[in-house]
Amino acid sequence: MRENELLSHIYRRSADLSGSFAQVVVGPGDDCAVVRTPTESLLKVDQVIEGRHFVRGTPIDLIARKAIARPVSDVAAMAGRPLAALASASIPESFAQADALFDACAAWARRFGCPLVGGDISATSAPVLSLSISVLGTPHARRGAVLRSSARPGDSLWVTGELGGSFGPDGLGRHLTFEPRVEEASWLADTLGPSLAAMLDVSDGLGMDAGRLASASGVGIRIERDAVPVAPGANGWAAALGDGEDYELLFCVRGVDRLPETTPGGTRLTRIGTVVEGSGCRLVWNGGEADVAQVGFEHGRRP
Amino acid sequence: MRENELLSHIYRRSADLSGSFAQVVVGPGDDCAVVRTPTESLLKVDQVIEGRHFVRGTPIDLIARKAIARPVSDVAAMAGRPLAALASASIPESFAQADALFDACAAWARRFGCPLVGGDISATSAPVLSLSISVLGTPHARRGAVLRSSARPGDSLWVTGELGGSFGPDGLGRHLTFEPRVEEASWLADTLGPSLAAMLDVSDGLGMDAGRLASASGVGIRIERDAVPVAPGANGWAAALGDGEDYELLFCVRGVDRLPETTPGGTRLTRIGTVVEGSGCRLVWNGGEADVAQVGFEHGRRP
């Protein structure tokens, strides 16, 4: 792989970006891209690394998809929409598919609404492929950015979709193919306005992420164990709580008792708990409760 | 290193970002950062990788400095100013200084005017440290973004500072300590307005980068060999032409014959050539000329 050839290839394929995406003023190929931006913009970076976020042998297209979908999911978790993306890759010298990988990233970035406007590639002696994607987004026009710090005691706690078992025994599974909840988040902000109180996406496990929401808001959270929607094939509530990589929305609702069973697009909405005074995240069931704010995984700790 | 501990550390140190930088609405710690943006924004990603952009043993502070300074230099090359930065790092599991590395990135990002508003860290089995930095910037308010595609025959060709020898024999040198030419670019755009015709930063060697400017603009470039300002210690004009990693501005000027010898800040300005009809980049001297559009280095080709 020669960097110049690869970059030329990318620029050629990006020639029509400004035509397809009104926000792109100058696409890849100059020192910087130029993108039309709202008064306030969202910014997020996330990376996927072989052996940690995907197993060796995962199809290129799914690696690219996950790399783009992860930061897009964070934009969704603010109730925003993605506008543009940047990709950087560190690629083993022996890796022959750099071209296909960038094509796939570009295709998924378009599909998720945030065309790739820049990138950087380095071939290295490292044996491990890593991709870092930055996404620029626009907050919800009326609701504004939905922060994780705005939960208050009395809010109800909800989740989209179903949790657990996302990382299959073969390393494949939903963690590679999830749909970032951009439409769902946008619909929630449209529908609930300021009653949509705090939100994040569940990436490291419901227990740990609910604990983070509680900590950011200075509140406690109680999750009803038997209300947690468990994904088909997942190993019960423990998997739903701790597996992570679900990329579902966890959100708080204030002053509204009921929501439809699904979003207009058919994504399930489930009330799973309550925001209370105090701190931490406790799982409660008939006859017991437990602290679950550390249940999940964090990079650097997984064996 | 545990990711959560490191992120908490970063968030604590970033608590005053909004106070110090008016553009930061929400700093690190939520799903996304929120940054105040102009109507059009600049976007750039660049990475530094051990063994390629710095040698093993380079002080942490200089690695961080170079990682931030590279994309800032690209923002300068559009005559823009940096607003905010995102960092992602892939760190060998044995690396004990992740904390110091992120502190240094945060410090240099502030120093260069683009506070770090988000980051992602992964410990991996890879033996090589890599850092990817994305920068959001604002174009020059009146001149707008200065593209590399806007050179025309008859423009004069200029360069800031001095070229060559940036990568010292010990792997240290100016490539680690250069000052991105943000002030110089801003002054050029203020002073020259639309007469500042096309610009880029010289990262891969004057020959190759001038060739890129020529190609993007559909013109030819002639560089006068004996006019090229050679940095002290560099091995003559060949080094100035091919070494790369200078991060000086190469720019075209239209309809203005003279510039001061230096910018108000003391950075040297040198006229080194002319934009002509045709294509490619030729070095000319008393009695000869040569095609130098391939002189420089690109990643993936360096031995």
**Residues B286-297, mean pLDDT to the nearest whole number:** 88
Task: Please write the tens of the pLDDT for every residue from B152-189.
Answer: 999 999 999 999 999 888 889 999 999 999 999 999 99
Q: Is the Cβ–Cβ distance between A178 and A68 less than 8 Å?
A: no
B201, closest residue in chain A (CA to CA): A31
Question: At residue B303, does pLDDT exceed 60?
Answer: no
User: Which chain A residues have a beta carbon less than 8 Å from that of B128?
Assistant: 90, 124-126
Report CB contact under 8 Å: B298, A4.
yes
Asked if pLDDT for residue B276 goes beyond 90, the answer is yes
State both tokens at B95.
């690396």
The structure's pTM equals: 0.94
Outline where DSSP puts E strands in B240-287.
248-253, 269-276, 281-285
**Mean per-residue pLDDT over chain B, rounded:** 92
Q: Write out residues in chain A with pLDDT < 50, as ranges.
A: 1, 299-303
Q: Which residues of B touch A87 (CB under 8 A)?
A: 45
The predicted pLDDT at position A302 comes to 38
Domains of chain A, each with CATH number or no CATH: 3-138 (3.30.1330.10), 156-291 (3.90.650.10)
Name B5's Cβ contacts closer than 8 Å, sequence gap at least 6: none
Q: Which residue of B has its CA nearest to A138?
A: B34
Mean local confidence (pLDDT), B205-224: 97
In contact, B173 and B165? CB cutoff 8 Å: yes
Q: Give A-chain residues touching B132 at CB under 8 angstroms.
A: 45, 47, 88, 90, 120, 132
In chain B the first and final C-alpha atoms are separated, in Å, by 34
Burial A184-218, CB ≥16 within 10 A → b, else e: bbbbbbeebeeebbbbbbbbbbbbbbbbbbbbbbe
Least Cα separation, residue A33 to chain B (angstroms): 5
Query: Each residue of A27-41: b (16+ CB within 10 Å) or e?
Result: bbbbbbbbbbbbebb
Asked if residue B44 lies in contact with residue A31, where contact means CB atoms within 8 angstroms, the answer is: yes
pLDDT given at position B294: 86
Query: Which one, of B180, B162, B232, lies nearest residue B72 by Cα?
Result: B180
Of A15, A54, A286, A276, nearest to A176 (Cα)? A54
pLDDT at A303: 30
> Any CB–CB contact under 8 A between A207 and chain B?
no
What pLDDT digit, counting tens, does each position of B12-64 carry?
777 678 788 999 999 998 999 999 999 999 999 999 999 889 998 999 999 99
Sort B110 into a burial class: Cβ within 10 Å, 0-12 / 13-18 / 19+. middle
| Three-state SS annotation for B196-242 | EEEEEEECCCHHHHHHHHHHHHCCEEEEEHHHCCECCCCCHHHHHHH
| Chain A nearest-CA residue for B73 | A31
Cβ of B125 under 8 Å from any chain A Cβ? yes
Which DSSP string do the residues of B62-122 spell out, in sequence order?
A: HHHHHHHHHHHHHHHTTT-EEEEEEEEEEEETT---HHHHHHHHHHHHHHTT--EEEEEEE
What pLDDT is attached to residue A299?
A: 46
Give the residue from B107, B133, B111 showing the smallest Cα distance to B120: B133
Identify all chain A residues contacting B37, using CB atoms and an 8 Å cutoff: 37-41
pLDDT of residue A170: 85
Q: Who wins on pLDDT, A112 or B93? A: A112
CB-based contact, A100 to chain B, within 8 Å: no
Q: What is the pLDDT of residue A1?
A: 47
Q: And the tokens for A58? A: 């995962």
What pLDDT sits at residue A5?
65
Residues of B in contact with A90 (CB under 8 A): 47, 49, 90, 128, 130, 132
d(CA A213, CA A151): 8
Residue A152 has a pLDDT of 98
Residue B3 has pLDDT above 90, yes or no: no
Q: CB of A72 within 8 A of CB of A183?
A: no
Q: What are the tens digits of pLDDT across the range A26-65?
A: 999 899 999 999 999 999 999 999 988 999 899 999 999 9
Interface confidence, given as ipTM, is 0.94
Distance from CA of B237 to the nearest CA of A (A): 24
Q: Which residues of B touch A128 (CB under 8 A)?
A: 90, 124-126
Q: What are the tens digits of pLDDT across the range B107-119?
A: 999 999 999 999 9
Is the pLDDT score of B284 beyond 50? Answer: yes
Q: What percent of chain B has pLDDT over 70?
A: 94
User: CB of B56 within 8 Å of any CB in chain A?
Assistant: no
Q: Does B243 touch chain A (CB under 8 A)?
A: no
